[in-house]
Homo-oligomer: A and B are copies of this chain.
């Protein structure tokens, strides 16, 4: 069987830059920021002027879940945590969260790190960013 198209090589290559480096977009007209990137600013539409914008990779946990049932390519990671991160720039972004499960709470500070994301049955590996919990000592 061929790879599921969602993890196929053409797809992975296309958005590698955005996935590896957290490059989204900024609308120069209304100053809104977007991650993942958008071609069109939903606020300004034809008046929008989008350019690339690299996010800092810092943020805090906005919501999270621990998955015990995994789709193809993720079975070996079970259980794993996926969260929505509120980036420092105010934008929400979906990512895996790594760190001690007990330490994962809404509001916890996190930062982006580069990791292996999934492995398909025939060995194709997707890489991308995950967010790791920042150990704040006293917190």
Which residues from chain A sit less than 8 Å from chain B, CB to CB?
A: 1, 4, 72, 121
Contact = CB atoms under 8 A, between A and B. Distances in A.
The secondary-structure label for the interface of chain A is loop
A1 B122 CA distance: 9
Query: Which one of A1, A4, A72, A121 has the highest number of Cβ atoms from chain B below 10 Å of its Cβ?
Result: A1
Nearest to A72: B1
4 contacts: A1-B1, A1-B4, A1-B72, A1-B121
Contacts of A1: 1, 4, 72, 121
Contacts of A72: 1
Contacts of A121: 1
A72 to B, nearest CB: 7
A4 B4 CA distance: 11
A1 B71 CA distance: 11
A4 B1 CA distance: 8
A92 B72 CA distance: 41
A1 B4 CA distance: 8
A6 to B, nearest CB: 12
A124 to B, nearest CB: 12
